[in-house]
């Protein structure tokens, strides 16, 4: 190889490395812009009712499939919000909750979610399920009686 070819190879290598570094920075900034607002949001706890459940399946490289588990909750103001509560590796919440269950939902939600995510079917991405504590039978009896 001539000296010219060595310099050209160094320039091309530097350019490729610069492009890879730029892509990594872009990925970090984009993912942070959607995650940080949720992480910094305060936890909220509200009394809700489970009104629906669904499973969404995604297929990845080489045909490997992955399930995502969602539960819809109805709030006391009659609004409905859906949360991703698990995936193929962690579906215990999905299995243990049933339509009609009532209790305290603890979650985080991105501020002004309606402005940031216009499509209601994607709004779950701006929310983070933290936990659900079912009302006991005694709690239900007190509310009924």
Question: Domain of 57: which CATH number?
Answer: 2.40.50.660
**Residue 32 sits in the same domain as residue 48:** no
**Residue 93 sits in the same domain as residue 51:** yes
Q: How confident is the model at residue 126 (pLDDT cuts 50, 70, 90)?
A: confident
**Residue 19 sits in the same domain as residue 68:** no
pLDDT at residue number 26: 75
**Residue 24 sits in the same domain as residue 47:** no
Number of folded domains that form the chain:
2
**Residue 21 sits in the same domain as residue 77:** no
Closest residue by Cα to residue 121 from 86, 70, 74, 85: 70
Q: Provide the 8-state DSSP code for 135.
A: P
Phi-psi region of 90 (alpha: psi -120 to 50; beta: other; left: phi over 0): beta
pLDDT at residue number 101: 97
**Residue 25 sits in the same domain as residue 94:** no
**Residue 80 sits in the same domain as residue 139:** yes
What's the gap between Cα 88 and its chain centre?
14
Contact (CB, 8 A) for 74 and 52? no
Biggest CA pair distance of the chain: 92
Q: What is the mean pLDDT of residues 5-25?
A: 89
Residue 135: pLDDT above 80?
A: yes
pLDDT at residue number 47: 97
CA angle 106, 107, 108 (to 5 degrees): 150
**Residue 47 sits in the same domain as residue 19:** no
pLDDT at residue number 60: 78
Domain enclosing residue 134, as ranges: 42-144
**Residue 36 sits in the same domain as residue 99:** no
**Residue 105 sits in the same domain as residue 35:** no
pTM above 0.85, yes or no: no
């Amino acid at each position: 190889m001539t000296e010219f070819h060595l310099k050209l190879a160094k320039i091309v290598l530097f350019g490729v490395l610069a492009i890879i570094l730029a892509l990594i920075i872009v990925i970090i900034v984009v993912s942070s812009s959607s995650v940080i607002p949720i992480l910094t949001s305060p936890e909220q706890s509200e009394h809700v009712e489970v009104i629906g459940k669904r499973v969404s399946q995604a297929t990845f490289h080489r045909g490997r499939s992955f399930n995502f588990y969602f539960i819809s909750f109805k709030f006391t103001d009659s609004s409905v919000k859906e949360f991703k509560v698990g995936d193929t590796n962690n579906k215990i919440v999905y299995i243990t909750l049933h339509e009609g269950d009532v209790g305290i939902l603890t979650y985080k939600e991105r501020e002004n979610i309606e402005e940031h995510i216009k499509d209601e079917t994607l709004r779950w991405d701006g929310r983070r399920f933290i936990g659900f504590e079912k009302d006991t039978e005694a709690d239900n009896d007190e509310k009924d009686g």
